[in-house]
C-alpha cells in the first residue's frame, strides 16, 4: 500500500491535541516516514482518529426512500458508503433489524444485505450489527447460523413488538408499519396478533442467541431498556452495552456496572431526543453517556463532538472519544479509535470549526474535500 505522511497538523494523541506529523504505511500508523511517502499538508488543521459508528440505520433510506419503494441493495450499499466516508466514519456497524415484519426489515432483506456487503469492495470498514427482534422466532435459526459463520459483528436484543401492538388500533400509526412491509393494514394486524401470541418462546430464543454470540466473541447490547431490572437481565446474558436507555436512572446503573451507554448523536445536534427521552448532551457531560452513535443520521456524529466541545463542559479530545475511542473499545476493536503506532491508519482531518477536509481509511485517502 502507498505510504502517507500527514504533516504540520494538530493531532489528537493520548488525549491531547499536539503538533505532530503522522506517518502511515501498510494500512497502519508507524513511527517514521517512508522515503516514498506521499505528503498531506495539514497546516492549520486537526488530525483526529476515524469515527466509529456503533449503530447506524440511515442506510434504510437508500434501500427504501419512500414506504414500499425499494431499490437494489448493491446500489444502496454503494451510496451508503459514500455518505459514511463524506462524514468521517471509517468503521460503521450497520444496524440491520431482523424482524418478523415483511419488506424492509424482513428475513429476505437481511440475507440480501449480508450478501451485498460481502460482495462490495469497501473502503469503509462496514460491519453488521444484528438487531434481532425478540418475537421473530421463525428467523432464529438463520440468525444463529449467520453468527456462527462470522457474518455478524455485533448483536443487539430488540423488542418493538409490544409498542407495535399498542399502536395497532390507531390507523395512522399502524399504517406506518403496514406500508413499510408492503401489506394492507388488515393483513398487518392479523400478522402482528399471530406473532405476539408466541411470547412464551422468547426467553429461550434470547438465551440461544446470547450463547451463540458469546461463543463468537461478539459484543452484545440491549436496546431501549426501560428499567434497571431489564438492564440486569440483559447483563446476565452477557450484554455489556446499554443502547438508548429510556431514562437517566437506567443509564447510570449501567455506567456504575462499568458498561458502555450509547445514545444518539442526533439527540445532541437537535438539542434533545425526538421522542422525549433523556438529553444525550447533558448525560455525556455528566459522564453517563459514554458513546454517541449516528442512529438515523450520519452527519450528526462529527457535528455532535464539536457541539459538545463548544458547550464547554467537555474538551474536544473528551468529546471526540465519544465517537472514536469509546465505541471502538465497546465493540472490542482495540486496533482503532486512537492515534498510536501499530493502530489502523483510520483518520479524519478537519478544520477548527469541524468542517471535514479528508477521511483516511487504512492509510489511504477515502474521501477528500474539493478545493
Q: Which residues, 6 or more positions from 220, have their beta carbon under 8 angstroms from its beta carbon?
A: 154, 155, 156, 157, 210, 213, 214, 234, 237, 238, 239, 240, 241
Q: Alpha carbon 359 to chain centroid distance?
A: 18
Cα 83 from chain centre: 14
Q: For residue 10, what are the β-bridge partners? A: 19, 46
Split at pLDDT 50, 70, 90, the class of 152 is: very high
Percent share of the chain, pLDDT over 70: 99
In the chain, how many H helices and how many E strands?
15, 16
Looking at residue 2, its pLDDT comes to 81
CATH superfamily of 50-337: Metal-dependent hydrolases (3.20.20.140)
CATH topology of domain 1-49+338-371: Urease, subunit C; domain 1 (2.30.40)
Above 60 in pLDDT, residue 1? no
Burial of 27 (0-12, 13-18, 19+ CB in 10 A): middle
pLDDT at 277: 65
Neighbours of 267 (CB within 10 A): 27
Domain ranges of the chain: 1-49+338-371, 50-337
**Chain segment 15-44, per-residue pLDDT in tens:** 999 999 999 999 999 999 888 999 999 999
Q: Residue 258: is it exposed, middle or buried by C-beta count within 10 angstroms (0-12/13-18/19+)?
A: exposed
Contact 237, 207 (CB under 8 A): yes
Give the global pTM. Answer: 0.96
Amino acid at each position: 500500500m502507498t505510504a502517507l505522511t500527514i504533516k504540520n497538523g494538530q493531532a489528537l494523541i493520548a488525549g491531547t491535541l499536539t503538533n505532530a506529523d503522522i506517518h502511515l504505511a501498510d494500512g497502519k500508523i508507524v513511527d517514521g516516514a517512508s522515503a516514498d511517502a506521499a505528503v498531506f499538508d495539514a497546516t492549520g488543521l486537526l488530525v483526529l482518529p476515524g469515527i466509529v459508528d456503533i449503530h447506524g440505520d440511515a442506510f434504510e433510506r437508500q434501500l427504501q426512500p419512500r414506504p414500499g419503494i425499494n431499490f437494489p441493495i448493491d446500489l444502496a450499499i454503494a451510496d451508503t458508503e459514500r455518505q459514511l466516508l463524506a462524514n468521517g466514519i471509517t468503521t460503521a456497524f450497520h444496524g440491520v433489524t431482523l424482524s418478523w415484519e415483511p419488506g424492509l426489515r424482513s428475513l429476505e432483506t437481511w440475507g440480501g444485505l449480508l450478501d451485498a456487503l460481502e460482495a462490495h469492495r469497501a473502503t469503509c470498514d462496514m460491519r453488521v450489527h444484528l438487531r434481532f427482534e425478540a418475537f421473530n422466532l421463525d428467523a432464529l435459526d438463520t440468525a444463529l447460523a449467520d453468527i456462527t459463520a462470522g457474518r455478524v459483528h455485533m448483536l443487539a436484543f430488540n423488542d418493538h413488538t409490544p409498542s407495535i401492538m399498542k399502536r395497532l388500533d390507531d390507523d395512522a400509526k399502524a399504517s406506518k408499519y403496514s406500508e413499510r412491509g408492503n401489506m394492507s393494514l388488515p393483513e398487518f394486524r392479523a400478522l402482528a396478533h399471530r406473532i405476539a401470541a408466541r411470547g412464551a418462546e422468547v426467553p429461550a430464543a434470547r438465551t440461544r442467541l446470547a450463547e451463540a454470540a458469546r461463543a463468537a466473541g461478539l459484543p452484545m447490547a440491549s436496546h431501549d431498556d426501560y428499567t434497571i431490572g431489564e438492564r440486569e437481565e440483559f447483563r446476565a446474558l452477557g450484554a455489556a452495552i446499554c443502547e438508548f436507555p429510556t431514562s437517566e436512572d437506567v443509564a447510570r446503573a449501567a455506567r456504575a456496572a462499568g458498561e458502555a451507554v450509547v445514545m444518539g448523536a442526533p439527540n445532541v445536534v437537535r438539542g434533545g431526543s425526538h421522542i422525549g427521552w433523556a438529553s444525550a448532551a447533558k448525560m455525556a457531560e455528566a459522564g453517563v453517556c459514554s458513546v454517541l452513535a449516528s442512529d438515523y443520521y450520519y452527519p450528526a456524529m462529527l457535528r455532535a463532538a464539536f457541539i459538545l466541545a463548544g458547550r464547554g463542559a467537555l474538551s474536544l479530545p473528551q468529546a471526540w472519544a465519544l465517537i472514536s475511542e469509546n465505541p471502538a473499545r465497546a465493540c472490542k476493536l482495540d486496533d482503532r479509535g486512537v492515534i498510536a503506532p501499530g493502530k489502523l491508519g483510520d483518520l479524519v482531518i478537519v478544520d477548527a470549526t469541524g468542517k471535514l477536509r479528508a477521511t483516511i481509511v487504512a492509510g489511504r485517502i477515502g474521501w477528500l474535500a474539493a478545493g
